Amino acid sequence: MDKVIIFDTTLRDGEQAPGASLNKEEKIQIAGALSELGVDVIEAGFPVSSKGDFQSVKSVAAAVKKSSICGLARALKKDIDAAYEALKKAHRPRIHVFLATSKIHMKYKLKKAKDEIVRLSCDSVKYASKLVGDVEFSPEDASRTDPEFLFRVVETVIKAGAKTVNIPDTVGYSEPQEYGSLIAAIKNNVPNINKAVISVHCHDDLGLAVANSLSAVKNGARQIECTINGIGERAGNASLEEIVMALKTRPDLFGGLSTAIKSARIYKTSRLVSKLTGFTVAPNKAIVGANAFRHESGIHQDGVLKKRSTYEIISPQDVGFYETGLVLGKHSGRHALKERLKAIGIKLSEVQLARAFELFKSLADKKKQIFDEDLIAIVEDEIRVSSPIWQLDDFRINSGFRAVPEAWVRLKRKGKNFQAESSGDGPVDACYKAIDKITGLKGRLVDYSIHSVTAGKDAQGEVAIKIRIKNDIISARAASTDIIEASAKAYINAINKFSSKEFRNEPRPS
């Protein structure tokens, strides 16, 4: 097979990154984008883990038809039943069963002997295979599992009906040579291995997740599990965009293996995930970082002007970076806005367009030149947010060199206005305290950062925050030409996330 199956787990392992909680609407939005991107399998969540996760997987399964939709389950009947129920509306449902096989996990976490692990793996795969035709099995912590025992488990689950066997490097312990050899050894030592696809799932604790995945592919793996922007547990998972572009850029090394990913949609998808999870992408991040295609040194700039390939191995357009230019201004009309949005790949309904035009006009009153990034910020912050519970209606700040900062804030909820005043350590703190008085929730700011969306003194500032409410860490962001307004909106977005019905703080799986 010359195709590598892309299995995206942004909505499951990616969402396990602390502070990356997504609500149902956000998951549906990301799943839609992943499907448009060309992802073969979308792991939408872990249905048994919480009511919220169950509902999200169910909604994604009903909404997204082009990709297979997968639900995770431990090797337990109740987990498999929950995954099956959540996936009922999927066109191509997949149940992903996992059970740890390494000595350390079996002894300390599961307290089970080898034979019992084999029996449970076999029974759970048999049970899941009766419910859906497509079952994947993961021997968790496979890279630290005794190889002979791993071969035995893999052979058993394939006999029991697993169509994909995934070999997770759960704790990111492996190294490319070693991990590639493990995949080759599985191919050589498991007699029925040709009846299943070998998949890999690498974590980035040593910064080797992508290298390990690529080494595995060279040794016979044909499915890669990855996430957008590499988000995930601890140091994260292998990044989808890096894997896809490595395979595409070096066909000489990977024997012409290809994926179904439409690379020109990568940047857009990366932005969406960053915005909805609140995880900013580092400027030097490969493929999707803001500096990934910027040439600073004079020698490099000169080379690129003479021939781009002197210093560019990927064309920015190939991953969906577009040329930034001055686009619109105060006098631009609705048609011009629609055309520009179309040019940068944003489709809106007529109602959304009308709202975007209003916002665009009010931004154009404050800012002379409107760039593509400004339009993206408008759409991401104001248009595509699902019916917010609280909205910022107005605010006033009094702050100065010797004055105690004070804020007056008015929020809207279901058409009614609520207002409060507060002082604070600074204008943002005063504002957040006033918002807390109105909502009755107390958020503690864990992280706050601001960057300008474009260049120029009148640029919009994009504020990204993480706040703790009760035991949850919630990420959110917002942009405005007024940084206090952006800060207040980001805070309100976080509160809305917390308050949305779908958001449940139920225990995550270990």
Chain positions contacting Zn ion, by CB under 5 A: 13
Q: How far is the CB of 169 from Zn ion (least distance, A)?
A: 9
Q: Please check if 219 is assigned to a binding site.
A: no
The C-alpha angle with vertex 280 and arms to 174 and 294, in degrees rounded to 5, equals 90
Interacting partner of 23 out of ligand KIV, Zn ion, none (Cβ under 5 to 8 A depending on kind): none
Q: Which residue ranges make up the site for ligand KIV (CB under 6 A)? A: 13, 98, 138, 140, 166, 168, 170, 201, 203
Shortest spacing between CB 97 and ligand KIV, in angstroms: 9
Q: What does the alpha-carbon distance between residue 61 and residue 151 come to, in Å, rounded to a whole number?
A: 33
138 binds, among ligand KIV, Zn ion, none (CB under 5 to 8 A by kind): ligand KIV
Measured from the CB of residue 170, what is the shortest distance to Zn ion in angstroms? 6
Question: Is 8 or 140 the residue whose CB approaches ligand KIV more closely?
Answer: 140
Contacts of 176 (CB under 8 A, 6+ apart): 208, 211, 212, 214, 215
**Among residues 49 and 493, whose Cβ is nearest to ligand KIV?**
49
Q: For residue 428, which of 451, 458, 448, 403 has the smallest C-alpha distance? A: 448
Q: Do the beta carbons of residue 13 and residue 227 sit within 8 Å?
A: yes
Output the CA torsion 18→23→28→30 (10° steps).
Answer: -30
CA distances from 181 to 158, 213, 365 (A): 21, 12, 61
Closest approach of Cβ 274 to ligand KIV, in Å?
21
Output 226 or 488, the one with its CB closest to ligand KIV: 226
How many Å apart are CA 453 and CA 497, to the nearest integer? 23
Shortest reach from residue 37's CB to ligand KIV, in Å: 21
Nearer to ligand KIV, 273 or 459 (CB): 273
Q: Is 423 exposed, middle or buried (0-12, 13-18, 19+ CB in 10 A)?
A: middle
Distance CA 48, CA 506 (A): 10
Is 237 annotated as ligand-binding? Answer: yes
DSSP 8-state class, residue 227: B
Long-range contact list for 262-267, CB < 8 A, 24+ apart?
262/36, 262/37, 262/38, 263/318, 263/319, 263/320, 264/317, 264/318, 264/319, 264/320, 265/33, 265/36, 265/37, 265/38, 265/320, 265/345, 266/37, 266/240, 266/241, 266/319, 266/320, 267/319, 267/320, 267/321
Nearer to Zn ion, 166 or 269 (CB): 166
Q: Which does residue 98 bind out of ligand KIV, Zn ion, none, counting CB within 5 to 8 angstroms by kind? A: ligand KIV
Position 133: which residue type?
A: G
Between 172 and 461, CB nearer to Zn ion: 172
- Partner touching 140 among Zn ion, ligand KIV, none, CB below 5 to 8 Å by kind: ligand KIV
Q: How far is the CB of 392 from Zn ion (least distance, A)?
A: 38
If 0-12 CB within 10 Å is exposed, 13-18 middle and 19+ buried, where does residue 488 land?
buried
13 is in an annotated binding site: yes
In angstroms, what is the C-alpha Rg of the chain?
24
Shortest Cβ 305–Zn ion spacing (Å): 43
Least distance CB 140 / Zn ion (angstroms): 8
**Residue 201 assigned as binding residue:** yes
Enumerate the known binding-site residues. 13, 201, 203, 237
Enumerate the known binding-site residues for Mn(2+). 13, 201, 203, 237
